[in-house]
Amino acid sequence: MLDTTKDRNPMPEELDALVIGTGVSGLYELHQLRQMGLKVHACDAASDVGGTWYWNRYPGAKFDSEAYIYQYLFDEQLYKKWTWSERFPGQREIERWMHYITDSLDLRRDITFSTTITSATWDETSGLWTVETDQGDSVRVRYLVCCTGMLSAPLTDRFPGQSSFDGQIVHTARYPKEGLDLQGRKVAVIGTGATGIQVIQTIAPEVDQLTVFVRTPQYVLPMKNPKYGPAEVAWYKGRFDELKSTIPHTFTGFEYDFEQAWADLTPDQRHQVLEDTHADGSLKLWLASFGEMFFDEEVSEEISEFVREKMRARLKDPRLIDILVPGPDDYGFGTHRVPLESQYLETYLRDNVEAVSVRDNPIAEIVPEGVKLQDGTVYEVDVIIMAVGFDAGSGALSRIDITGTDGMTLAEEWRKDIRTTLGMMKYGFPNLFMTGAPLAPSAALCNMTTCLQQQTEWITRCIRDLRDSGNDVIEPTQSGEDAWVAHHDETANATLISKTESWYNGANVAGKPRRVLSYTGGVGTYRTLCNEMAEKGYPSFVMRKTAIPATA
């Protein structure tokens, strides 16, 4: 394998297409555009492929989607030649799988690693982007495909005084490759989202003392994670055709869907559905029980209380229940991301684990000894693990200096208002395509590989249709973008998701414009809308031809 730190693949100076990022979508986009015959190259700030699965190597990182559906479904042999060891595998296995995909498709020769894109500037006359990197490269490229990730801009600078800390402080999305020695040490974890939960339940047995700082209590669902033997592997591989024909069309891109209406069932029948989906040990209770939980406050409260009762029964201790279980006035179950967990709640019953509520007594600063709260209490620790989340959706691209037509920059536009067309292009930024970006279903309520395959396939088709039409520049119209934003908002604002504070609507970043980031009309519906846009000749876009021919 190429040692990317020593032998960096050179970045070509002229390209038809540059793919930024080599996670799930970047790898597949590179493959597709290469198959189309374009001169295409990819680059990544990381020293290897994997995207989110490269960066998030914190203890306990693992899938919350079943491995056999978190898959590429475009190639049956590619799917069947890889064998998963369990239902919800961990980061190391996932990273190996991404290497398997990369090497099977022979993608490495067209990837430059350890290279961060610093700027991209559109030139209207040539219809080309000039892209610059932190390694001094300058690339002129027709199509810029940004596969930079929905959750890839970590909020690393969260607290005053972080640099004064005498011990080690690390954000989970920048966890060192070589790991941290936590054995016998005093460790603080800040944050109890999907990430914090995985960290906490994993490291508790190994550390001397674990202090968890909990702000907003979090609904959780227990994971059942059986190991896979030959029978289970044969079972899921035998379902390839079935999975390929169903997954892309469900509401959330999982194999299951909302099948029953709350109003059609008796209270006993509803309770049974909740019990059954809870017992499944997956996200089924959230994504395949009753869709009404996202719209109807009464249904939401009944389902929330069902989950709260399950949590209370495990915690028993009133103080822990108060800190860790959401109350009826907090927010409804499923209106922000529901994490799966393995004995997470029981972790707090251990003698070496303490939950500290920072809801009314927030973290004021990090001091040399540890974490200081507003009331002056200092928790002395050796290591601080910050599981405090991301600037989601718009964060990754806003950190690149992207200048479109008339000098407008993407970061500035999104500082004012986070808008896109179909979540894949932005008015004023011709030939700039995005996956996992705002106003598409990616990340929230979505099995990521389902969404990202659909988006990259649509982008590939769009570029092909553009070229087939004799044009080389495409850009959304202002009115086309207005229409998508209006449809997105109408759909989102009908849900309880829009009323809950979380990264889903930008509430976790001070000053970020509020808008539900993910499209909530359903993965299957979104696919249909995108396909219709192409079939009708891209009515929300304009296509044109530049005087200067493409490089190829």
Q: Note the residues at the interface with ligand NAP (CB under 6 A).
A: 62-64, 151, 158, 190-196, 213, 215-216, 337, 358, 363, 387-390, 443, 503, 508
| First-last CA distance in the chain | 29
C-beta closer to ligand NAP: residue 39 or 62: 62
What is the separation of C-alpha 347 from the centre of its chain, rounded to a whole number of angstroms?
26
Residue 465 CB, nearest approach to ligand NAP (Å): 32
DSSP string, 236-248: HHTTHHHHHHHGG
C-beta closer to ligand NAP: residue 115 or 449: 449
Residue 513 CB, nearest approach to ligand NAP (Å): 17
In the numeric block, the tokens 């876009």 are attached to 541
**Helix, strand or coil, per DSSP, at residue 211:** strand
User: Of the candidates 286, 284, 287, 205, which has an alpha carbon nearest to the alpha carbon of residue 252?
Assistant: 287
Contacts of 377 (CB under 8 A, 6+ apart): 361
**Helix, strand or coil, per DSSP, at residue 523:** helix
C-beta closer to ligand NAP: residue 335 or 409: 335
**Helix, strand or coil, per DSSP, at residue 489:** helix
Cα(299)–Cα(295) distance, integer angstroms: 8
C-beta closer to ligand NAP: residue 30 or 94: 94
C-beta closer to ligand NAP: residue 23 or 191: 191
Task: Please tell me what DSSP assigns to residue 323.
Answer: H
User: Of the candidates 395, 550, 533, which has an alpha carbon nearest to the alpha carbon of residue 477?
Assistant: 533
C-beta closer to ligand NAP: residue 361 or 493: 361
Residue 287 CB, nearest approach to ligand NAP (Å): 13
C-beta closer to ligand NAP: residue 187 or 194: 194
Residue nearest to ligand NAP (CB): 193
In the numeric block, the tokens 């090497």 are attached to 103
Residue 446 CB, nearest approach to ligand NAP (Å): 9
Residue 186 CB, nearest approach to ligand NAP (Å): 18
Residue 223 CB, nearest approach to ligand NAP (Å): 10
C-beta closer to ligand NAP: residue 19 or 197: 197
Residue 294 CB, nearest approach to ligand NAP (Å): 16
Q: What share of the chain is helix, strand, coil (3-state, %, to 5)?
A: 35, 20, 45
User: Of the candidates 274, 335, 254, 267, which has an alpha carbon nearest to the alpha carbon of residue 516?
Assistant: 335
Q: Are 286 and 221 in contact (CB under 8 A)?
A: yes
C-beta closer to ligand NAP: residue 141 or 363: 363
Task: Please tell me what DSSP assigns to residue 186.
Answer: E
Residue 304 CB, nearest approach to ligand NAP (Å): 16
**Helix, strand or coil, per DSSP, at residue 153:** coil
The three-point CA angle 139-143-146 to 5° equals 90
Residue 443 CB, nearest approach to ligand NAP (Å): 6
E-assigned strands of 4-96?
14-20, 40-43
Radius of gyration of the chain (CA): 23
Residue 111 CB, nearest approach to ligand NAP (Å): 24
Cα(12)–Cα(457) distance, integer angstroms: 24
C-beta closer to ligand NAP: residue 63 or 344: 63
Show the tokens assigned to 141.
């490229």
